[in-house]
Every structure is written in C-alpha cells, then in structure tokens.
Structure 1
Amino acid sequence: MVSASAWAQPPTRTELIENLVSGVDRYNPNNVSILEDYLYHQIRSEEYDCLANLAILKLYQFNPDLYNPDVVINILIKALTSSPFPDFNLCISLLDERPIGLNPDEPDPLPTLLPLITSLHNLLQQCRFPAFWSLYLSEKAESLRDNYTVECVGFEDAVRRVVVQAVNAAFKRISGDRLSTYLNLSGDDLTAFVKNLGWDVDASGVYVIPPNPDNQIVSTVVQENIQLPQLTKIITHAAQTV
C-alpha cells in the first residue's frame, strides 16, 4: 500500500513536474502538454502521480479549449486502482463543467465511457470483484479495453492488487475457487500469482493469508474512570428528571 507521503510526492516525480504541480506555474496553460506527456509516461511505465493528473484536469477547467477526452479517460483509468485513496472521486469532481462536442468531426467518447468507468470504480469499492471482471470483460466495455486499458501497462494487475488488499484485510483463509473469481485467474496463472504473494496453500486448495493487523481479532479493554463528584452530578440529575 502506498503511503500518504508517497501519494503526495511520488519518488518518480521529476523536478520539472514538481515545479509544475507545486509552483506558481501550475495554472499556466502552456504547460499542459508537458503534463499530458507525463501522464502517458505513467500509462507506459506503471508509475502514477495523482496530483500531476489533477493539475491537467484543473487546466482543462480553466481552459476549455485545451480539453482532450482521451487524456481525461486515461486519468480516470489510472485513478481507478488507487484504492484506498479517493483519487477517482477527486478526478470526477473536476469534470462537472467539462465541454462536450466542441469538435463535431471527432465525437467525444467520454460521455459514453464515463458511466462505465464509474460503475467499474463502484464495484471495486464495494469489493464486488467477480461483478467487476464480468463488466470489464463484457461487450459493453469492449471500447474501453480496445482503445484505452490495452495501452495502460499493468492495468489488470493493478486491479488485482486492489483485490489482494481487500482479501488481506478480510480473510484468514480463502478457497482457491473463490480467489479465482476475485482475481480472474485460474490454473497455473493463479498458482504463480499467489506464490508471489507468499501465501501458503493446504491440501484442500485453501489459501492461508498471513496474519496482519487487519485480519486479526484483538480484544480491547476500555476502562473508564469516573470521579465521585461526577457520579454525584449524574445521580442528582437523574433524581431531578424523575
């Protein structure tokens, strides 16, 4: 899981991008092409920089003529697997005034794909992983897969990392069949993936999740100290209300 400090300032962020994101030049529309190139670097390299991508959306808000729907869709795809951070909702909040149909010769794909991407995000947040894969692999999402996520290196593995976070937090043991539907992997692919996680498997095909702070039940003892003057006030108040 990425730390909050690494989220705010990824170690892969260059000094140039840092100046564009945090400096006085962040609202300069002349810099949008640099930030867009940086986004496509993230798409190709599995790196991720939410604040830099939000800066693009903010520039689009202030400068509607710069709007590029393909860039917006790629930003949303990267934000889709940012759990547990609220990146996706932050991005959506900057799209309320997005321009539509500025160029009739090039139809805007965002109005069609935005409900689909939002549905995928909701399914991930709700931990409805089999439903996520069913929708993602459906004919309805064919355009998204063929034109966008196919270019996003490691997208499906990023989704699986979200799944692993949830399984780590909720399970001590999970059957191979169930995990297969969560990860959309089976056979040797599932075995290799789980091996890299370091999980053990028993003879019945049940995977054992290593103990961690989230999947261990720890009893908590709460001790309250009530002083005599406080108790006297409570009794007096109770007597007055009878």
Structure 2
Amino acid sequence: MKAVIQRVTKASVTVGNDVISSIGRGVCVLVGVSKDDTEEDMDFIIRKILKLRLFPSESRPWDKSVSELDLEVLSVSQFTLYGILKGNKLDFHNAMAPEAASIFYSNFLEKLKSNYKSDKVQDGKFAAYMMSFEQLKAQLHSDIQGVNRYNPENVNDLAACVQAMAAENKYDKDIVLTVLKLYQLNPDRYDETTVRLVLLKTLMVLPSSDFALAKCLIDTNKLGSPELRRLVKGTYKPSTNATEPFKLPQEIPKMIRSITGFEEAVKTYACRVINVTFQNIEKSLLSRLLGGADDKEVATYAKRFGWEAKEGGNVFFVANHDATIRTRNIDEKIQFSHVGDILRSINVPLQLA
C-alpha cells in the first residue's frame, strides 16, 4: 500500500456538486492499493496514519500525532498512486483490480475506524471519478481495430471497460472476448478478477453462446478460486428434483455482489425457459424457481411475460403448447425396384402370395 498523508486545517471531498464528506483539523490521506497488498500492509499504513508525528507541541514543531490530539482523518482511495509511465501512456497494472480493491479498501476503512474513533474518520467515494462504460468504450474503439486489436498495452483499458460494464449493467461481446484473448496471448497480464466478471457477464446473456466462447479462451489451470473453477468446468449439479431451484454454493453470492443486474438477468432467463416448457405452473413452484421470490415479485414477472392467474392466483396459465403442435400427413413414394435391390443385398427371400 501507499499513502500520501497531508495535514490540513480542513478538507472535503466533492463529487459533482455534492460535498460527500468533510473534516476539520487533521489529516487528508490518499490511499493506493497494489495487487500484492496484504493485511500486514494494511496494518502498517493504519499505524502510520494514526501515529505519525505531524503536528507541533508547545516545545517541538513535529511532536504530536492525530490520535494524540484527537483530530480527524479524511481517507480517499487513489489507485493512480500505482501508475507508471510506459512511453507516453499511463499503466496501472500494479494497482489492485477495482473489484478486489473495493473490498480491500472497505476493510481498510473499517479497521482504521476500529483502531481510532469511528466518528473521527471520514471517507471519499470509491471510484467516483471513473469514466462511464460508454466513455471507456468510445476511447477504446480505435485502439482495438485491425492489427492493434491484440496489443497487450490495451489490457488495462479493456479490464476497466469490463469493470464499468459490470457496474452499469452494460454488455459488449467484442470487449469481453478481446480481453480474454489478450490474457491468453499474454499470461503475465492475466487477472482473475476480470476473468470472473467476464464469465458472470456472459452468463447474463444466456441463451447466447458467449459463455461457451469465453470458457474456450480461459486456461483453467490459472483459475485460483475453487468455486470459479467449478463454474468454468460446469461441475455444479442441480437438484435431482426438477422442481427445485438451482442452488449456488456460498461463494457465488459474494462473486456476483458487484455485478449490477445479475439476479434480474438470471430470473429473466428462468422465465423464458418456463415460457417454453410449462403450460400451467403453480405459484409456489414459480416462486421457488425464481429463487424464493415473494408474491409481489411473482406477480410482476407473471405480468411481464403475460401469464394469466387462475384458481384464485395459485396457478398461472403460461401457454397452450398443444396449439403450437401441428400434425402433418406425409406421403412418400418409392419405386419397387429400389426395394428389391435393398432386399437382395440382405439376402431376404421374397415370398409372393
């Protein structure tokens, strides 16, 4: 970790036109998190923030710390502290990936507050100044065209696009497959957090084949998370009871926490499957298949897909699939000489009545 500690008489963080946090006398700290940071690094930085002698006493100019004077701390995440120059382009591959950094930074704040005083520690807004997905996509458009498509220098920009995609519930097949191909061509640039986001985003666009395509581009030997390995290898087994909902292991909800719209996308896909497999479905079963949805949510999905409530709302009429089955009479004519050739080839004697 890196921290730039500045003593202040007052400080504030403004996002847009809104002041989201402010302090009086104390320190403003810019905190950068690297991909290799551990709990020990976190503890070291917290000790320095609280114990560093930055303030004067009656006898010395640098004698007192924040904690000794009961002053305030304003902490602001700053991934650019780990930026390096490659030619004329900034590279941030030494910084922790955004999703993991968000969790790490949140833990850092909690520990900072618990080691000091919660009301004395204020925070900025994590990733408040990141560009939107559309802005990142527009910026990348020219960089991933033609022979420059698989330039390894594009990896970080593509990873940022994937992160924004997950946060804003957007999707671009070209971007997700390009970043996986770059990881395949440049194993040293591989980032599991981005791979996880890509896989989960491709699951959100089922029944398209994007998830299968993504799996083909991933080296499963590089997957560190057991749950992610099982997800890629397709070893999650649904219940033997076809009416039971698919239950994910405990780690999966943590994985999808940062994916905006994931649950909605999965439920929508489930409803599409129900649409083509059920004629009538009990409300209790529909609720289970939608992950334990309450009556209001069940009614919302039923209305969205045009399912009609019956029997006092306990059953929904989905569709009359019998009406979509059409019988046909097919007449085929075959020459007797052709049949004779076939029978002779299998040595079956003909008996004529």
Q: TM-score range by the shorter chain?
A: 0.7 to 0.9
Please say if 1:36 is aligned against 2:159. Answer: yes
Aligned to 2:337: 229
Distance of 1:234 and 1:158 partners within structure 2: 55
Aligned to 2:199: 76
Aligned to 1:187: 295
- Asked whether the 8 Å contact 1:172–1:210 carries over to 2, the reply is yes
| 1:172 Cα deviation after fit | 1.1
Distance 1:187 1:208, change over 3 A: same
Where 1:145 maps in the other structure, the secondary structure is helix
Decide which of 218, 221, 225 is 1:111's aligned counterpart: 225
In the alignment, residue 159 of structure 1 is paired with which amino acid?
A: V
What runs of 5+ residues in structure 1 fail to find an aligned partner?
A: 1-11, 101-109
Q: CA RMSD in A?
A: 3.3
- Asked whether the 8 Å contact 1:80–1:121 carries over to 2, the reply is no
Please say if 1:96 is aligned against 2:210. Answer: no
| 1:25 Cα deviation after fit | 1.9
Aligned to 1:153: 260
Distance 1:99 1:174, change over 3 A: closer
Where 2:205 maps in the other structure, the secondary structure is coil
Distance of 1:29 and 1:45 partners within structure 2: 25
Q: Which has the larger Rg?
A: 2
Distance of 1:180 and 1:68 partners within structure 2: 37
1:135-157 residue CA offsets vs partner (Å, 9 max, x unmatched): 25xxx22xx423x3121111001
Structure showing greater relative contact order (alpha-carbon pairs closer than 8 Å, 6 or more residues apart): 1
Name the structure where helix makes up a greater proportion of residues: 1
Mean Cα deviation higher: 113-122 or 79-88: 113-122
In the alignment, residue 177 of structure 1 is paired with which amino acid?
A: S
Aligned to 1:209: 318
Aligned to 1:135: 248
In the alignment, residue 168 of structure 1 is paired with which amino acid?
A: N
Distance of 1:90 and 1:33 partners within structure 2: 21
Distance of 2:323 and 2:217 partners within structure 1: 36
In the alignment, residue 207 of structure 1 is paired with which amino acid?
A: F
Percent identical across equivalent pairs?
A: 26
Mean Cα deviation higher: 20-29 or 112-121: 112-121
Distance 1:19 1:209, change over 3 A: farther
Aligned to 2:279: 172
| 1:199 Cα deviation after fit | 1.2
In the alignment, residue 187 of structure 1 is paired with which amino acid?
A: D
- Asked whether the 8 Å contact 1:123–1:129 carries over to 2, the reply is no
In the alignment, residue 259 of structure 2 is paired with which amino acid?
A: C
| 1:186 Cα deviation after fit | 1.8
| 1:226 Cα deviation after fit | 1.3
Distance of 2:325 and 2:344 partners within structure 1: 40
Distance of 2:330 and 2:144 partners within structure 1: 45
Where 1:193 maps in the other structure, the secondary structure is helix
Distance of 2:233 and 2:270 partners within structure 1: 16
In the alignment, residue 111 of structure 1 is paired with which amino acid?
A: S
Decide which of 323, 327, 332 is 1:219's aligned counterpart: 327
What runs of 5+ residues in structure 2 fail to find an aligned partner?
A: 1-133
Decide which of 181, 184, 195 is 1:61's aligned counterpart: 184
Distance 1:95 1:119, change over 3 A: closer
Aligned pair count reads 212
1:12-70 residue CA offsets vs partner (Å, 9 max, x unmatched): 89676565566322211111222222212321232222332121111111112211111
